[in-house]
C-alpha cells in the first residue's frame, strides 16, 4: 500500500478549493446574469402603482418583462404602446373609468409613469373582475370579450370562472410566460 504524502494531500486540498472557488464564481455570475436579465427597472413607478392598485409587484414586473422587456418605446404590430403595451382605445376607456380630470393623449403612453399607472390599473380591474390571476392575464392579452365567451363555453371552462383551456395559442403562451417571469422575479428580488 502506497503512503499518501503531505504534498499529495496539499495538492488534493488545492484542487478541492479550486473547484469550490469555481463553483462560487459560477453561481455569482449566474445570479448576476439573472439579475441583469430580470432588472428592477422603474422601481419607483412600479412600487407606487402596486400600492395604489394593490397589485403584486412581481406580477407587474412579469407583465412588463413579457410585454416590452422594459422598452418604453415599444409598439406592437397591433398598435399597443409602451412598457405595458396598452392599446390606445383601452387607454381612452381607462381615463373615463374613474372620470379623471387629467386627459392624456396616445403619445403619453410612452411616458413610463403614465403607462405603468394605467397598465396596473387595468390589471387591477381585471383581477377584481375575474378573481383569478391567470384568467385576468388572458383578458389582458386576449381581450375581455374573448375571455367572457371562453368562460361561458364548457369546452374551455368548467365553472365559468377559471379557464381549463385557452383557445388562442398566443394568449396561452402569454399567461404562462408572465407567470414564469413573475416567479423568477419573486425568487431573485422578493425572496418568496
pLDDT of the chain, 192 residues: tens digit per residue: 677 787 777 877 777 777 776 666 656 555 665 667 899 999 999 999 999 999 999 999 999 999 999 999 999 999 999 999 999 999 999 998 876 677 899 999 999 999 999 999 999 999 999 999 999 999 999 999 999 999 999 999 999 999 999 999 999 999 999 999 999 999 988 875
On whether the pTM is more than 0.85, the answer is no
Backbone angles phi, psi at 75, to 5 degrees: -135, 125
Q: Rounded to 5 degrees, what angle do the CA atoms 165, 170, 176 make?
A: 65
Give the domain ranges of the chain. 1-37, 42-189
Given the candidates 1.10.530.10, 1.10.1060.10, 3.30.360.10, 3.40.50.10420, the CATH classification of the domain at 42-189 is: 1.10.530.10
Of 43, 45, 51, 67, the catalytic one is: 67
**67 labelled catalytic:** yes
DSSP 109: G
Whole-angstrom distance, CA of residue 91 vs CA of residue 38: 27
Whole-angstrom distance, CA of residue 176 vs CA of residue 181: 9
Burial 147-156 (b: 16+ CB within 10 A, else e): beebbeeeeb
Amino acid at each position: 500500500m502506497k503512503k499518501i504524502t503531505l504534498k499529495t494531500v496539499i495538492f488534493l486540498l488545492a484542487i478541492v478549493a479550486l473547484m469550490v472557488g469555481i463553483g462560487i464564481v459560477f453561481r455569482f455570475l449566474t445570479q448576476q446574469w439573472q439579475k441583469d436579465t430580470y432588472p428592477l427597472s422603474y422601481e419607483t413607478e412600479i412600487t407606487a402603482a402596486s400600492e395604489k392598485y394593490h397589485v403584486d409587484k412581481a406580477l407587474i414586473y412579469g407583465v412588463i418583462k413579457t410585454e416590452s422587456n422594459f422598452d418604453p418605446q415599444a409598439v406592437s404590430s397591433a398598435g399597443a404602446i409602451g412598457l405595458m403595451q396598452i392599446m390606445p382605445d383601452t387607454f381612452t376607456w381607462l381615463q373615463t373609468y374613474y372620470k379623471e380630470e387629467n386627459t392624456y393623449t396616445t403619445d403619453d403612453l410612452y411616458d413610463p409613469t403614465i403607462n405603468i399607472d394605467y397598465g396596473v390599473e387595468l390589471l387591477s380591474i381585471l383581477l377584481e373582475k375575474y378573481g383569478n390571476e391567470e384568467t385576468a392575464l388572458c383578458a389582458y392579452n386576449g381581450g375581455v370579450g374573448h375571455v367572457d365567451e371562453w368562460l361561458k363555453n364548457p369546452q374551455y371552462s368548467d365553472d365559468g370562472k377559471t379557464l381549463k383551456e385557452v383557445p388562442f395559442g398566443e394568449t396561452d403562451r402569454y399567461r404562462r410566460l408572465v407567470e414564469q417571469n413573475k416567479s423568477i422575479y419573486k425568487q431573485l428580488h422578493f425572496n418568496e
